[in-house]
Amino acid sequence: MILYFTGTGNSRYLASVLKDQLNDEVVSINDLIKNQVNKTFFSQKPYIFITPIYFGRIPKIVADFILCYTFEGSNKVYFISSYYSGPYDTQKYNKELSQKKNFEYMGTYTIQMPQGHIVLTNCSNEGEAKSIIASSTEKVLKEIEKIKTLSPFLEEKTKGKIVSNLVNPLFYTFIAKSKDFKANDKCIACAKCVSLCPLNNISIVNSLPLWGNNCTHCMACINSCPKEAINYGNKTVKRIRYYNDSTYNHAQEESM
């Protein structure tokens, strides 16, 4: 079973690559959290979690999801975690999380994907994004062979452990806030931001989106806005937005 969490579409795209190759069930963690679905999962195949990396760990919202839900059948678990600047010590925390759930940890494969955290830096432009996605798709396709043969991912040597150990908690304490998100007069009240927010933190009030206090900084709202009407204070004005709404289809690519 393939379970993914995404803000700007990278994990959803990677899930489509695995679905194409493994013919496995795909589950959106976003949808389950948003709709507050409480269920027990069952899979005879390994569980595969696909997530972004937020400052050296998978998102806290995903770690909490894994801890709270019940997973039956196979006890093998793989992680595919995407980053832009570096994976840091993500695999250490994924291994610890697996031990808490009594999973048989099969490793973490980290892969570069386009930058989407527009609040902290510029997003990847269209040309860079296409190049990174093409390169990463090729690498992931090779790594999938390990899942097919139930072989573990190779443990990677990582640098920058201070990011995972110290900066990550500071990110949630001081940065992952929604108070500076605002929409300007370009907003058409399409409510796309409302539908994509996994934490139901956005509502439409007087024809404009209004943010609550529960935010994980997934960047789905700001990067997906069709009118680029959302900004985070003055930091994101005129910055490039990145949102990946594509899916992978090997048969379609071969026919082109």
With beta carbons less than 8 A apart as the criterion, state whether 22 and 148 touch: yes
What's the pTM value of the predicted model, to 2 decimals? 0.96
Element (DSSP H or E) covering residue 233: none
Residues 6+ apart with CB under 8 A from 5: 11, 28, 29, 30, 50, 51, 52, 58, 59, 61, 62, 65, 198
- Distance from C-alpha of 46 to C-alpha of 76, rounded to nearest angstrom: 5
* Other Cβ atoms closer than 10 A to 148: 9
What single-letter DSSP state applies at residue 8?
A: S
Tell me what the pLDDT averaged over the chain comes to: 95
pLDDT reported for residue 212: 97
What are the structural domains of the chain? 2-165 (3.40.50.360), 177-232 (3.30.70.20)
pLDDT band per the 50, 70, 90 thresholds, residue 256: very low
- Distance from C-alpha of 6 to C-alpha of 232, rounded to nearest angstrom: 19
With beta carbons less than 8 A apart as the criterion, state whether 114 and 124 touch: yes
76-115 pLDDT, tens digit each: 999 999 999 999 999 999 999 999 999 999 999 999 999 9
Cβ neighbourhood burial of 92 (10 Å; 0-12, 13-18, 19+): middle
Tokens standing for residue 212: 């609550």
